[in-house]
Amino acid sequence: MKLNGAQIVVECLKEQGVDYLFGYPGAATINIYDELYKSREDITHILTSHEQGASHAADGYARSTGKVGVCLATSGPGATNLVTGIATAYMDSVPMVAITGNVSIPMLGKDSFQEVDIQGITFPITKHNYMVKDVNILADVIREAFYIAKSGRPGPVLIDIPKDITSMTAEYTRKEPKVYDKPQNFHIPEKLVEIINKAKRPMIIAGGGVIRAGASEALMTFVDKTKSAVANTLMGIGATPYDHPLYTGNIGMHGSLTSNRLVNECDLLMVIGARFSDRVVGNEHKFAKEATIVHFDVDPAEINKNVVVHEHVIGDIETVLTMLNEVIIDKDAPEWVEHVAYMKKEFGHQVNYDTVNVPHMLKRIAAHCKPTDIVTTDVGQHQMWTAQHYPFMFPNRFLTSGGLGTMGYGLGAAMGAQFANRKDRVVMITGDGSFKMNFNEIITAVKHKLPIKIFIMNNNALGMVRQWQNLFYEDRFSSTDLGEDIEYVGFAKSLGAEGFVIDTVDQIDDVIEKAFSSNKVSVINCRVATESNVYPMVPPGFAIHEAIDQPDQIGK
């Protein structure tokens, strides 16, 4: 049947099973929005307060479900406002399709009103992108975009559609979505099996690739059979249950002392679905010097990119681990298991329960939450403390910006996650600096009656930068002290949300209970000390096993 381009866009979204679409309309997308209005019983469009909020919401939807998140913006500034969210998804391998409008084809290249080369702008931060200049290929482009976004190593795909394409007609025939079948023809080298079986002190670094591949269960079988200590990167948190006896915590610049030190004690280091980020490796010349390093990844471009490894396997992580679990021995390594337990006890994270501080708050929030509740963060000190102290038990429950480090990510992601997971509680942990980046999305959350709980760890500062100024710049606090510039309770109430304050220890549980019992967006202003720093920390140029837990250790 003959449909116009706008109708084809909406019909293809229906084909792909899209239930939520996050966006902001404009002249270049008005035809698409007219068709969305007609199809509002099939696709719920969420009007965000800003296009960046739409991109982060699509990201949070995708991370919490494993499905493709979708966002839509008009041309020019609408399209460029998606860029930060697209880059965030790209760095963290999140499946997303971003659709943008553009000026009509005859107006392209003429600096027309609200014209921008969004295809060129997003070329480095997408798996693939398109400008559709022929309505006859529009449907196939959309179908291919969804397939690319979720296949292999997931990531964002952008489709730019000139306005006149949305009014031109073409033949449309409905098609079932193409299913991504994970390749099964991997070769597991006998030498690798031998290396794993012979290792006496094995360790695993599990990254976000484990979660994206749905491989957490296969990973834990692998951990139990090999008796490997297992640490998570920031993106891998939740791949390993927090309470597993061989779980050693997160790793890297603010990782646990246990994880960071064991890397230089193990004789076999298996990095699974992670890219050897600089924040994980530290000084690469001193990294895991006693170990044979093996890398498992779906993306061949990551092999030997940051750290040269001894062995590697390229393939879908779940398939690879499942195959390995069938051929490796069920090892008995009591000395190594006992040593891991000793290290966890000796070097575990400490919490001061006598004051209102972020680790203390996180422990109490967790005590009121279910293990299946979803936690989002912004970026900064609060993010690192959350990675250290919150007891995540399942994958896809911790949503945070890792690779790009996007302040302002958390609220949009929380909205996307809450729309997708109506029965689960969504908690956002943020700092006063990050919160100000995108707090306008409270309007969206209130409008849609999303009961998101927003805990602002308010230290009246840009805490992470201030920490570096404290440790390495002789306390020259340039533009990082914020002061008490917002009365958060009044601010929250002015937008239709609820507001609370936590000043003292005896208020913590009472306020959390009140906030959690409310069916409204709740903003909780947690007043914490400005001077608090995140430890452990790996100073610049140090190896991760040289992490410090006191400022006077710098330079030693």
Q: Which of 67, 127, 150, 163 is catalytic?
A: 163
Residue found by looking up tokens 């290396």 in the block: 195
DSSP codes, 306-350: SS--SEEEES-HHHHHHHHHHHS-----HHHHHHHHHHHHHHPPP
Asked about 163 being catalytic, the answer comes back as yes
Q: What is the pLDDT of residues 73-98, one digit of tens each?
A: 999 999 999 999 999 999 999 999 99
pLDDT at 182 (0 to 100): 80
Residues whose CB falls within 8 Å of the CB of residue 446, separated by 6 or more in sequence, listed in order: 495, 496, 497, 520, 521
113, 194, 198, 217: the catalytic one is 113
pTM greater than 0.85 (yes/no): yes
Rounded Cα distance between 165 and 169, Å, is: 8
Contact (CB, 8 A) for 459 and 532: yes
H/E element, 269: strand 268-272
Task: Give the distance, in angstroms, between the CA of residue 477 and the centroid of all CA atoms in the same chain.
Answer: 30
Total residue length of the chain:
556
Cα atoms found within 13 Å of the Cα of residue 141, Cβ hemisphere only: 21
What pLDDT is attached to residue 179? 87
Catalytic residue among 114, 119, 507, 553: 114
280 neighbors 305 (Cβ within 8 angstroms): no
Cα–Cα dist 250/349, whole Å = 11
Active-site option among 203, 407, 457, 464: 464
Radius of gyration of the CA atoms of the chain, in A: 24
C-beta of residue 68 within 8 angstroms of C-beta of residue 146: yes
- Structural domains for the chain: 2-166 (3.40.50.970), 190-347 (3.40.50.1220), 358-540 (3.40.50.970)
- In Å, what is the CA distance from 49 to each residue of 181, 489, 499, 529? 37, 21, 20, 32
Please provide the distance, in angstroms rounded to a whole number, between the alpha carbons at the two ends of the chain.
74
Helix (H) or strand (E) holding 361: helix 358-368
**Residue 155 · residue 126 · CB < 8 Å:** yes
pLDDT tens-digit map of 502-513: 999 999 999 999
Q: For residues 86 and 156, is the Cβ–Cβ distance under 8 A?
A: yes
Rounded distance, CA 17 to CA 388, Å? 36
| Paired sense of beta strands 2-4 and 169-171, if any | antiparallel
Which residues pair with residue 454 across a beta bridge?
Answer: 428, 523
Residues in the chain with pLDDT values less than 50: none
Q: Whose CA is closest to 528, among 360, 396, 391?
A: 360
pLDDT at 555: 61
pLDDT value for 183 = 74
Indicate the burial class of 170 (C-beta count within 10 angstroms; 0-12, 13-18, 19 or more). middle
Choose, from 11, 16, 22, 51, the residue flagged as catalytic.
Answer: 51
Residue 384 annotated as catalytic: no
For residue 184, the model assigns a pLDDT of: 72
- Whole-number pLDDT of residue 556: 56
CB 202, CB 171: distance < 8 Å = no
Instruction: Tell me how far apart the alpha carbons of residues 334 and 403 are, in angstroms, rounded to a whole number.
Output: 36
Nearest 5°: CA angle at 348, between 343 and 351? 165
Q: What confidence tens digit (pLDDT) does each residue in 355-401 have? A: 999 999 999 999 999 999 999 999 999 999 999 999 999 999 999 99
Which positions ≥6 away from 532 have C-beta within 8 Å? 357, 358, 381, 459, 463
Q: Are 382 and 358 in contact (CB under 8 A)?
A: yes
Torsion of CA 511, 513, 518, 521, to 10 degrees: 50
Instruction: Let me know if 51 is a catalytic residue.
Output: yes
Bond from prior residue into 536 cis (ω within 30 degrees of 0): yes
C-alpha dihedral sign at 338, 341, 345, 348: positive
Name, in order, each residue with C-beta under 8 angstroms of 293's C-beta and a sequence gap of 6 or more. 269, 271, 307, 309, 310, 311
Separation between Cα atoms, residue 295 and residue 98, nearest integer Å: 31
H-helix segments, 369-430: 381-389, 409-420
